[in-house]
Structure 1
């Protein structure tokens, strides 16, 4: 800002300010900075690319695609822009176009480890192809950085799994996870402490007499919570297939506006709850596209159900439950772009986190009777129509047949499941972990399906 004050027409400074604001999560301000940079210097390629990435995080994927294509038009050999365009196209469900963008990025930059990982996710390896050997060479390159080796390990794990080479897949998962855990420096004590604070703070929150005025014209949220990889994306895809519902994806707003309230870090009173409520609903309305009902499927909002139920008493809360062994394994085999999921990269950490999650959900069920609708992922996939009709009925919506074809829902999906949800609802995914039982030393055997 000092550089801009000294030289207001310094386009690069506006662009760099945008980078900083984006890292701080201030996306609207970042957008303004990038646009100012482009107004001053229309051929500033990095600003177009960064604006595209900001639009993507704001859920404005058509704008993201346009900005990234503009960056590529200015600089056709910009490998990062091609890869980022691939991510945007994948979220839009245009998987063939996404694959082409990743391939272009790798053609321009053959050692682009992150693009290799993205490509491995969207394609199916039926044999050891050119990309497989490229990745293998990168893996064996002594000069590869730990960050890039992590990307390559997850990519080779996916490829090996496609090729039914379970032993090598497990080895690459183990190595990739160890590298990611080292990068993030996760300590499970931090979550143990957080979950204790959440339970200790809720009774003090309820001491406030809070009866907000519920205005009919306000957007009504439906929260979809659970462990990551539990089926929350599929459930949102089903609900948002209804014509009255807008699926907004994983929104950061509860954590952004309310985390300090939920752990009693900020004084909780009627005024604070009103402020949180209005901040959340105002932010939600911007993502609603005019729909009266909007889903927010940030899975880790399960941590904040006390705050949500208190400040937003009109909301519906859907809790998606999945076989514990399956969901723990699904977390272990996924590279998450977010640094906030540090527990995912060690089986011991995942098991500990899952136990914390179960304990907290038991607490919320006791504290919030009849407020939480439990939906079992495996039951949903086995009895799709019956469970879907019950779910839509619980939300107070009239039945619509579109809810039985979530794979036809054309909305953008920005989560780790954005490839799977383009397929018809299928059974059996919760059995996948059993292929790896010989390598797990009984790590997941203690998690019976009834432990939830």
Structure 2
């Protein structure tokens, strides 16, 4: 008897050693043989069942692990292991019950809490999954996978700051795991902290240089930083792994467009379509970048895809925008208008606009203006460069103005920075005094923008929607300059209606409906007129039509307001080499031309007077 027990201990030890070394076939052979002598041994049944599970034979895994649980019905690992086998067969309900049984028998069973979280996450029960992951962390604080999964769950819920914190902890616990750094980069990108995202992705690349997804997302963040050359190198790297990746060809086309290399960009779009003929993004961009490249065969393909309208999602809407461009090229304005309206309606169903929310917001902004202006901070030396905030409605010419200003050697263009609205949103939730809020908003912005610009005289922040917060910005940044770009209201409304904005563009739900656009235009005009009365002396108003008509004079006046010595490069914004990722990235690569404000008139018969006689801003 003693010898038999000794043999069982030896077999159990050898099974555990082979399993730990992932030598599953050898362990299985040993275990199956041992069962002939020890048919009721829990340890052997468990080892054989786990080996079968690892080797993909889930039927035999369930048989042996089921026998193991009969031998030890009150043993927590028995329930846990059988749960793993059921999860492997996608029997998630059964797996959930077994993990819960394991936890009932052993409440501090961290791995069971973790696996329960995985099952709940897969079943869409985010709240309970979060509690399970947090329980796993409670009972096993050094559990990087639990932090990583918690981060992924929080990110799926749009809680990017909380997700980032979880991923950062996972990285600190397991600093050489590329997946954790990659996930951290994804959260940072969502938070529009692109420079930090690049750093996280670079760390992931260091530990896993052959993962195409890491290079693809690294390129996306570099592109948002205006590093189109760096982004292009990343997308080229992805294509070395997979020459037929339509997404990589599409992303490469976008980076080339940012650099103004139009022919190469359209060539890349053709490569994307060769890899995936029904790729909506590539079809829309090709029609947008160079509609002459869309022949009859390609148009027929787009129309066929457009006709499959069972699911009118964002991809379907992209095809409508492509047909809009094609029909304009063919001077069929009635058909163009029809396609555009249908595409916009689909997008409106996906992302409806709430007029009442904006009405309330704008009213509150006006009501709080004088209070914010009474809190002006003292200038200090924390910032090594002066911010130039370029504001206005989208499609008003703000990208062009940023290209003009950043053409000067003393100015660095940083594009659309989300940092001040984020800082404001954080402080609005607190009960701090207004003065404290203002100081913290300023510091938060300074912290976020640090490292994005080289010490110099000026940097630009061209987030158009910052027009809403001009009194707060003026108080928080007494040293700042403010350039308000405005345009003929009819032209601006139409341009917003006809432009397909990226998914990363926020707060533009009003663009899906002409009546909503006009409504927002009126809110904007009323607010800017109100601000003009309060802080007009701080704002330089620049009208797009006047800029185009009196190019040299207007740019010299702008330079004078900024305190810059005029430079010839400011006259050639199309030659500015900095990457541009806004909806105007192709337009700003062309020499400035007049007539853009009359484009909407081609659709007069379809508009029925809706854009006639709109009142615009007057400085």
* TM-score tier (shorter): over 0.9
Aligned to 1:196: 363
Q: 1:332 aligns with which of 484, 488, 497?
A: 497
Aligned to 1:225: 391
1:29–1:404 CA distance, 2 compared to 1 (3 A): closer
Find runs of 4+ consecutive structure 1 residues off by over 6 angstroms.
none
Contiguous gaps of at least 5 residues in structure 1 = none
Q: Deviations over 1:390-420 (max 9, x none)?
A: 1111111112122222222222111111111
Aligned to 2:552: 385
Aligned to 2:134: none
1:225–1:99 CA distance, 2 compared to 1 (3 A): same
Q: Which has the higher contact order (CA 8 A, sep 6+)?
A: 1
Q: 1:150 aligns with which of 298, 311, 317?
A: 317
Q: 1:258 aligns with which of 417, 424, 443?
A: 424
1:373 CA displacement: 1.1
1:359 CA displacement: 1.1
Aligned-partner Cα distance in 1 for 2:320–2:539: 39
Helix, strand or coil at the partner of 1:286 = coil
Q: 2:248 aligns with which of 81, 103, 112?
A: 81
1:260 CA displacement: 4.7
Q: Does 1:309 align with 2:474?
A: yes
Q: Does 1:242 align with 2:411?
A: no
* Cα root mean square deviation, aligned: 2.4
Taking the TM superposition and a 5 Å limit, the aligned residue runs for 1:32-431 are 32-125=199-292, 128-142=295-309, 145-208=312-375, 210-214=377-381, 218-261=384-427, 267-337=432-502, 338-431=505-598
1:44 CA displacement: 1.3
Aligned-partner Cα distance in 2 for 1:328–1:35: 41
- Structure number with the higher helix fraction is 2
1:29 CA displacement: 4.9
Helix, strand or coil at the partner of 1:375 = strand
Question: Does the aligned pair in 2 maintain the 1:246–1:293 contact within 8 Å?
Answer: yes
Question: Does the aligned pair in 2 maintain the 1:121–1:155 contact within 8 Å?
Answer: yes
1:451 CA displacement: 7.0
Q: Deviations over 1:263-307 (max 9, x none)?
A: 686635434323322332343342323432111111111011011
Aligned to 1:444: 611
Aligned-partner Cα distance in 1 for 2:526–2:430: 22
1:125 CA displacement: 2.6
1:153–1:312 CA distance, 2 compared to 1 (3 A): same
Aligned-partner Cα distance in 2 for 1:432–1:71: 40
Aligned-partner Cα distance in 2 for 1:379–1:34: 44
1:420–1:201 CA distance, 2 compared to 1 (3 A): same
Aligned-partner Cα distance in 2 for 1:70–1:193: 48
1:214 CA displacement: 4.2
Aligned-partner Cα distance in 1 for 2:492–2:528: 16
TM-score by length of 1: 0.92
Question: Does the aligned pair in 1 maintain the 2:529–2:617 contact within 8 Å?
Answer: no
Question: Does the aligned pair in 2 maintain the 1:219–1:285 contact within 8 Å?
Answer: no
Question: Does the aligned pair in 2 maintain the 1:321–1:376 contact within 8 Å?
Answer: yes
1:116 CA displacement: 1.1
1:94–1:146 CA distance, 2 compared to 1 (3 A): same
Q: Deviations over 1:11-33 (max 9, x none)?
A: 44543443344334444554344
Helix, strand or coil at the partner of 1:369 = helix
1:369–1:19 CA distance, 2 compared to 1 (3 A): closer
1:214–1:118 CA distance, 2 compared to 1 (3 A): same
Aligned-partner Cα distance in 2 for 1:339–1:213: 32
Helix, strand or coil at the partner of 2:594 = coil
1:341 CA displacement: 1.0
1:447–1:185 CA distance, 2 compared to 1 (3 A): same
